[in-house]
Structures are given as C-alpha cells and as structure tokens.
C-alpha cells in the first residue's frame, strides 16, 4: 500500500529550545529540493518559520491561526510561495491568543483535506507550538506521524516523555493512524556522557529504530537561520547540512513504509 498523499508530519516537542523550528525549516527545504511538493505550516505563534526562510510578510497577511478565528478563512488563502522551488509556507499570526482557540480539534484535518491543499502537495510539515492547547491537538489530529526533536539533557527528555503521553492519548481518542516516526537528537556532542546517556535512554524507551541520526552542534545552523537560508544553501559542506541530509534520507525511507 502506498503512503498517504499528502503525508502530514507534525514536528513537535512540549519544551521550547529543542531546535524544532530549525528542524522544520531545514527538513521542509530539503524535501522540496528532492522534488517533493512541500507545504510548511507554522502553528507556533512565535512565527519563526518565515524568518528561517528569509520571508518578509506584508501587513494583514492571512495566517495559519486564522483558521481558528470567529470567522475562519480557507487555509489555502494563507499560502505564500517561498524563494525555494517547491516549498510554500503558511505563516503564523504572532498576535494570536491561544486561549481563544475553539474546542474543535478536527478543524485543521478538515482544512488539509481541501482539494487545493490535498492535491497540491506531497508533504505537509507542521511546526507546532510547545504549549498544550487546541493548536497542538489540531496538529496531532491532522498528522499521519510525528517527529520529536530533543536536546539530550534531562529536562528535554522529560518533554519528550510528556509529548509521548499526549501522542498516545490522541492516537487512542481521535487519530488512530498517528505514528511516532522518530526522535531526533539536536545539538548533539558525542564527547558528552549526558548526551550519549540521554539518547540511549530514549532509544531504550521508544525503540532504537525510532532514534534518528543526531544533528551535531554546529554554529552554521544558527547563522543560516539568521540569514534566512536553509543550511543546505547557506553552508552545504557544514556538519549541520551533512546531518540533515542523513536525516532526510531516513525520513523518506520511513514515510514510504509508514502506511505499508
């Protein structure tokens, strides 16, 4: 059986500072560079996906969170082409108030089923907010799979465990097709015992097959984000670019068998 199209991947962690948005931007750009028609949806109201792609948005630009307004917009009205071929963005509304999100946890899933989106993309990546609210639940309800970036230290590992509990709750209650595609170590230093122990603990807890190759510490990743460029464009020979290429290879393989 072929995997669903478009394949919806939620990139998520309950803790901030785990490289979630850097991962979302670089994976989205990497998928697009490999010929996948890719849509990146920024549900994190910090709105950093646009920054990482070097996109300047006009005042009044429709945003992902407008789907949850009292008078919602069609999600396709918020799509903005990026500078990178095959990659489009639905940006975030940085003024959105999370406590005003309606209780409907299926709004995003229905919106992604609209022909303009369902027929226009091969992959949809969702950068989720770290807060436990309806935006996050909508993302998990709409996704076929989740990817959890984490920095291997105790607080970040606890964030992974909290999210895993939420993941299984959503899978049991509203989205039986939701799968954990992988956990991704970020800012990894193989010389640090805590990093190696943290990865080993999560591999033991969730299965070694779910542990993705780590993204090593690399200042070039931060520099690329600040410059508004994917790492593959900004510094293609850097450790960060090499590591994200390796992760892309594994994710494409895993997504191909996710619905097998």
User: What would the pLDDT profile of 137-170 be if each residue is shown by its tens digit?
Assistant: 999 999 999 999 988 776 666 667 777 777 777 8
Q: Is 227 helix (H, G, I), strand (E, B) or coil?
A: coil
pLDDT for the residue 69: 85
Question: Which of 48-57, 62-71, 95-104, 196-205 comes out lowest in average pLDDT?
Answer: 196-205
Contact 96, 63 (CB under 8 A): yes
pLDDT for the residue 64: 95
User: In whole angstroms, what is the distance from residue 224 CA to residue 235 CA?
Assistant: 7
State how beta strands 80-81 and 7-11 pair: unpaired
The DSSP H or E segment spanning 171 is helix 154-173
Is the whole-model pTM more than 0.75?
yes
Q: How many CB atoms lie within 10 A of CB 256?
A: 12
Ramachandran region, residue 89 (left: φ > 0; alpha: ψ -120 to 50; beta: rest): beta
Partners of residue 10 on adjacent β-strands: 126, 146
User: In whole angstroms, what is the distance from residue 17 CA to residue 242 CA?
Assistant: 22
Instruction: Pick the closest to residue 19 from 244, 237, 246 (CA basis).
Output: 244
pLDDT for the residue 141: 92
Partners of residue 127 on adjacent β-strands: 11, 42
Say which residue, 173 or 68, is predicted with more confidence: 68
Rounded mean pLDDT, 164-192:
80
- Domains by residue range for the chain, with CATH: 7-258 (3.40.50.300)
User: In whole angstroms, what is the distance from residue 137 CA to residue 99 CA?
Assistant: 13
Contact 254, 179 (CB under 8 A): no
The distance of Cα 64 from the centroid of its chain, to the nearest Å, equals 14
- Answer whether residue 31 shows pLDDT above 70: yes
Q: What percent of the chain has pLDDT over 70?
A: 88
Average pLDDT, the chain: 87
- Answer whether residue 211 shows pLDDT above 50: yes
pLDDT for the residue 257: 44
């Amino acid at each position: 059986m072929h995997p669903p199209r478009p394949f919806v991947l939620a990139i998520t962690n309950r803790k901030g500072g785990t490289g979630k948005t850097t991962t979302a931007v670089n994976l989205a750009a990497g998928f697009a560079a490999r010929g996948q028609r890719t849509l990146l949806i920024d549900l994190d109201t910090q709105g950093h996906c646009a920054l990482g792609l070097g996109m300047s948005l006009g005042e009044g630009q429709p945003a992902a969170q407008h789907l949850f307004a009292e008078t919602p917009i069609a999600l396709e009205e918020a799509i903005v082409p990026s500078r990178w071929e095959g990659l489009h963005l639905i940006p975030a509304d940085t003024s959105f108030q999370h406590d005003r999100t309606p209780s409907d946890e299926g709004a995003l899933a229905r919106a992604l089923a609209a022909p303009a989106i369902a027929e226009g993309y091969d992959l949809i990546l969702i950068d989720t907010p770290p807060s436990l609210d309806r935006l996050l639940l909508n993302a998990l309800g709409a996704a076929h799979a989740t990817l959890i970036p984490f920095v291997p230290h105790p607080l970040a590992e606890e964030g992974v465990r909290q999210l895993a509990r939420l993941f299984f709750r959503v899978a049991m209650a509203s989205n039986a097709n939701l799968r954990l595609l992988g956990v991704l170590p970020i800012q990894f230093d193989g010389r640090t015992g805590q990093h190696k122990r943290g990865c080993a603990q999560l591999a033991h807890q969730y299965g070694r097959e779910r542990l993705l190759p780590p993204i090593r510490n690399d200042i070039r990743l931060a520099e690329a984000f600040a410059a508004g460029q994917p790492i593959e464009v900004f510094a293609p020979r850097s450790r960060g670019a090499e590591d994200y290429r390796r992760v892309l290879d594994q994710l494409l393989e895993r997504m191909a068998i996710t619905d097998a």
